[in-house]
């Protein structure tokens, strides 16, 4: 009987730990997404201009684009 109780206790404890870990991962994910949103709202225009300039440069010079691929 004690072996059964020990197994049952391990099963219950393991599930509680997994639930807590999932909650922590969920909170961490929310923080990362919030941080990304803050960065994008702050630097979004600058990033768009930078990537737009890079895209134009590659489009104007096929040799540069080929070098970047290789």
22-61 pLDDT tens trace: 888 999 999 999 999 998 888 888 888 888 888 888 777 7
Does the model's pTM come out above 0.75?
no
Q: In the prediction, which pLDDT does 50 show? A: 86
* Distance in angstroms (rounded) separating the CA atoms of residues 22 and 16: 10
Q: Which helix (H) or strand (E) holds 70?
A: none
Residue 61 is classified by DSSP as -
2 confidence band (pLDDT: 50, 70, 90): confident
Residue 44 DSSP code: H
Structure token digits, residue 59:
């489009």
Rg (CA), the chain: 25
């Amino acid at each position: 009987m004690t072996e059964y109780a020990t197994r049952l206790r391990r099963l219950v404890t393991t599930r509680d730990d997994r639930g807590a870990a999932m909650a922590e991962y969920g909170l961490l994910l929310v923080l990362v997404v919030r941080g990304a949103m803050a960065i994008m709202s702050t630097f979004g225009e600058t990033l768009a201009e930078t990537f737009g300039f890079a895209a134009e440069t590659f489009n104007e010079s096929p040799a540069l684009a080929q070098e970047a691929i290789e």
